[in-house]
Amino acid sequence: QLQLQESGPGLVKPSETLSLSCSVSGGAITSSDYYWGWIRQSPGKGLQWIGNVDYSGTTNYNPSLKSRVTISVDTSKNQISLDLSYVTAADTAVYFCARRKGGTSWRDFWGQGTLVTVSS
Amino acid sequence: QSALTQPASVSGSPGQSITISCIGTSSDVGTFNYVSWYQQNPGKAPKLIIYDVTNRPSGVSNRFSGSKSGNTASLVISGLQAEDEAVYYCNSYTSVRTWVFGGGTKLTVL
């Protein structure tokens, strides 16, 4: 059974860079069939798609975050990473990683999510 | 990109059917059959219940069904049960190769 697990600091200072990892177990991240993405949810709010990456490192980002976001894949560790720079309180959210099958909207496996608070 | 438009809340009694709408544009819902629906319970990750407009993943009850007409996608839950109470989100692919979510709909089972 595939499992995704997010990890990273729970507290980040304003203007700094938020860095998270998503470790994938039970399946290879190198499969060309899937995309790996990040989605966030501010407290009490809805879901926001941040971006995704494929096994080759090709990325797509939410235009509203594009200037601050980098998503990458580390095949040696079977994990993907998220960097979000120049964070503000508005970036406080639960961050989820998820897998989507290419050519479909079938986003079947999600991590449990990790809360990141931006505060000094 | 603007979020897809969903009603903030819907309600229904056990056994009834409800419909949640998801209004997009010709740049997302209206053009692509890559619309999915998620069910989210408090403190949990979203759970996929419909993908590619009408398809149900294995293990999802056939009381959940999806459809699309023009720029509007819909989720129907029939035979409402107390366990269906949750927040539901729609999601669509867009013409600029991104994905956009709806604002979410809180379903209350009376």
pLDDT digits (tens, 9 = 90+) for A87-115: 999 999 999 999 999 899 999 999 999 99
pLDDT of residue A86: 98
pLDDT value at residue B2:
85
Contact: A110, B1; criterion CB under 8 Å: no
Alpha-carbon span A21 to A71, nearest angstrom = 10
Q: Which residues of chain B have pLDDT under 50?
A: none
> Any bridge partners for residue A81, and if so which?
A21, A72
Residues B35, B91 contacting (CB under 8 angstroms): yes
Confidence at A63, pLDDT banded by 50, 70, 90: very high
Distance CA B26, CA A77 (A): 40
A110 touches chain B (CB under 8 A): yes
A79 to chain B nearest CA, in Å? 19
Predicted local confidence at residue B1, as pLDDT? 73
pLDDT at res. B87? 98
* Chain B residues within 8 A of A111 when measuring between CB atoms: 45
Q: Please say if the pLDDT value at position A66 is more than 90.
A: yes
